[in-house]
Structure 1
Amino acid sequence: MNNDSKIYIGGHTGMVGSALVRKLKNEGFKNVIFRTSSELDLTKQQAVKAFFETEKPDYVFLAAAKVGGILANNTYRGQFLYENLMIQNNVIHQSYVHGVKKLLFLASSCIYPKMAPQPIREEYLLTGKLEHTNEPYAIAKIAGLKMCENYNLQYGCDFISVMPTNLYGPNDNYDPETSHVLPALLRKFHDAKNDQTETVEVWGTGAPKREFLHVDDLAEACLHLMKTYSGNVSVNIGTGEDISIRDLAESIKTITGYKGKITWDTSKPDGTPRKLLDVSLIHSLGWKHSISLEKGIRKVYEEKFLR
């Protein structure tokens, strides 16, 4: 890659895509292209074909996807499977047809078996049953990374896949009904502080552990791999460190300045006890995260709620 390479980012308005845009522009890449979903519907084969014929990108970051929380994943199962398969099929295939030099596909750590050993190594893929609630989304993502792998094998492409852990950062979703745990807790504690609420209730026991990665670290890792890595092993991207939901809540309470109490609704489910990625491969490839969880949360809180 050089600074004049034409780089297409699919899904540039999302949390991951917008982080990639920021990273590339900060690194001096001058020819970054993208389209909004209203300008280019990636589920439409002919529209994607026409885009690639006209623009002829050299490199592609495929961060576009139909995404949502547990409720959305479980409710719109057919839609999540169909739309994600169509987006991936169209972009990956047209990248091959039009001679894209390299493509990076964003998968997800939810593609691993529900009861995978911890920490989760890349080779655990397809060794057990998936979590039922997000199975259609996971199957679509598995199909995408297998498409990259097999286009490499059959056509000699240079298409790679990555599997990020739980992400947070600018352009995250803070809707209390649909957001993931970290932004949901930030919203809860911030609102409770402003409303002077005496208690904040959190679901479960607080015992489960989760790993969190700032999206700017993910963007840095993706660019590093795009520059340096080729292969059919889909690479985990994470911190290799996890934290209990209880400790996360206490940390966010401190960061937001909330002075009340935390109560735990143990009638609500905890979910998977632990979900931690093994990141030894990406460490061996020369990348490691640089944003600590506390620093990252403070930065996100200041940018989202205090400006």
Structure 2
Amino acid sequence: MNKNSKIYVAGHRGLVGSAIVRNLKEKGYTNIIGRTHSELDLMSQQAVISFFEEEKPEYVVLAAAKVGGIGANSIYPADFIYENMQMQNNIIKAAHDYKVTKLLFLGSSCIYPKNCPQPIKEEYLLSGYLEPTNEGYALAKIAGLKMCQFFKKQYGDNFISCMPTNLYGPNDNFDLNNSHVMPALIRKFHEAKVNNEASVEVWGTGKPLREFLYVDDMADACVFLLENYEGEEHVNVGTGKELTIGEMAEMIKKVVGFTGELRFNTEKPDGTMRKLLDVSKLYGLGWSYKVDLEEGIEKAYAWFEENYK
């Protein structure tokens, strides 16, 4: 990419998209474009075609998606599969039709089978049954990465995909009803501290193991792949390190400064018990993460305190 190449970041105000825009600017890229939902409805094929016709982006980062935690994915599976497939179909096809130089599609580690060997290698995709609580979202993301592979195979389009682990950081969704576990707990602990509550509820047993990557590290990996990777296979993005939900909750409790108790609600679902990505492929290309988990939680909590109403 040239520093003045026109780069369209779909979802530029979200958790991942905003971090990618920050990273591109830090690296000296000057021609980055984005559209809010009110300016461009990615669900509308005609609107997307008109946008590509008018702007003719050279590079596309597909970071727009309908996302949520276990609760939202369980309640709205039809919305998750339909909206995500509609958005990505429109953008990937338009990127092909308007001869985009390169497209990066962002998926999620939930695409892998529920009972996957650990750590999870890229080739384990479609080797078993998906986790039922987020099957709709996972199927949409699998379809997206396969579309990128097939457009590359049939037409030679330079479309690549990466699959991040659990992400967190500035511009996250802190809504208690449909957010992921990290931002939900940050908000719970903060409100419990402010209101002098005796305890905080954590969903499940606290025993599942999870891997977390600070979103600015994820953005750095995305730009690295745009600059350096052209393979057909998707690439895992993570830290290669894991801890239990309980351990993470204790870490957030410490950072926030909450002094009460943790209560584990074992009537709530745990989800997949372990989900650690094998990141040897990405690290073999020469990239590695920089922000450790406690430092990342401190950064995320500082952003929450400053910005969240």
Query: What is the TM-score when the length of structure 2 is the normalising length?
Result: 0.96
3-state secondary structure, aligned to 2:264: strand
- Measured in 2, the distance between the counterparts of 1:89 and 1:269 equals 32
Q: How does 1:1-307 map to 2 (within 5 A)?
A: 1-305=1-305
| Aligned residue identity for 1:17 | G
Structure 2 vs 1, CA of residues 60 and 205 (structure 1 numbering), >3 Å: closer, same or farther? same
Deviation of residue 56 (structure 1)? 0.8
Structure 2 vs 1, CA of residues 266 and 7 (structure 1 numbering), >3 Å: closer, same or farther? same
- Measured in 2, the distance between the counterparts of 1:208 and 1:67 equals 21
Deviation of residue 68 (structure 1)? 2.1
3-state secondary structure, aligned to 1:186: helix
| Aligned residue identity for 1:188 | K
Deviation of residue 217 (structure 1)? 0.4
User: Greater shift after overlay, 217-226 or 68-77?
Assistant: 68-77
Deviation string, structure 1 residues 114-149 (Cα, Å, up to 9, x no partner):
111111110000000111222121111111101100
- Measured in 2, the distance between the counterparts of 1:63 and 1:91 equals 11
| Structure 2: runs of 5 or more not aligned | none
3-state secondary structure, aligned to 1:246: helix
Structure 2 vs 1, CA of residues 79 and 258 (structure 1 numbering), >3 Å: closer, same or farther? closer
| Aligned residue identity for 1:215 | V
User: Greater shift after overlay, 244-253 or 55-64?
Assistant: 244-253
Deviation string, structure 1 residues 193-215 (Cα, Å, up to 9, x no partner):
11111222222221111000011
Number of matched residues? Answer: 307
Deviation string, structure 1 residues 60-96 (Cα, Å, up to 9, x no partner):
0001112222232232222222221111111111111
Deviation string, structure 1 residues 145-196 (Cα, Å, up to 9, x no partner):
0110011111111100000000000111112222211111111111111111
3-state secondary structure, aligned to 2:99: coil
Structure 2 vs 1, CA of residues 79 and 246 (structure 1 numbering), >3 Å: closer, same or farther? closer
Asked if structure 1 preserves the Cα contact closer than 8 Å seen for 2:106 and 2:161, the reply is: yes
3-state secondary structure, aligned to 1:227: helix
| Aligned residue identity for 2:288 | K
| Aligned residue identity for 2:261 | K
- Measured in 2, the distance between the counterparts of 1:214 and 1:190 equals 20
3-state secondary structure, aligned to 1:196: coil
Asked if structure 1 preserves the Cα contact closer than 8 Å seen for 2:72 and 2:177, the reply is: no
Deviation string, structure 1 residues 96-127 (Cα, Å, up to 9, x no partner):
11111100000111110011111111000000
- Measured in 1, the distance between the counterparts of 2:242 and 2:170 equals 21
3-state secondary structure, aligned to 2:213: strand
Deviation of residue 306 (structure 1)? 5.2
Q: CA RMSD in A?
A: 1.3
Deviation of residue 270 (structure 1)? 2.3
Structure 2 vs 1, CA of residues 266 and 85 (structure 1 numbering), >3 Å: closer, same or farther? closer
- Measured in 2, the distance between the counterparts of 1:265 and 1:84 equals 31
- Measured in 2, the distance between the counterparts of 1:102 and 1:243 equals 35
3-state secondary structure, aligned to 1:8: strand
Asked if structure 1 preserves the Cα contact closer than 8 Å seen for 2:115 and 2:128, the reply is: yes
Structure 2 vs 1, CA of residues 67 and 192 (structure 1 numbering), >3 Å: closer, same or farther? same
| Aligned residue identity for 1:108 | S
- Measured in 2, the distance between the counterparts of 1:199 and 1:222 equals 39
User: Greater shift after overlay, 173-182 or 97-106?
Assistant: 173-182
User: Greater shift after overlay, 215-224 or 40-49?
Assistant: 40-49
Query: What is the TM-score when the length of structure 1 is the normalising length?
Result: 0.97
Asked if structure 1 preserves the Cα contact closer than 8 Å seen for 2:112 and 2:125, the reply is: yes
| Structure 1: runs of 5 or more not aligned | none
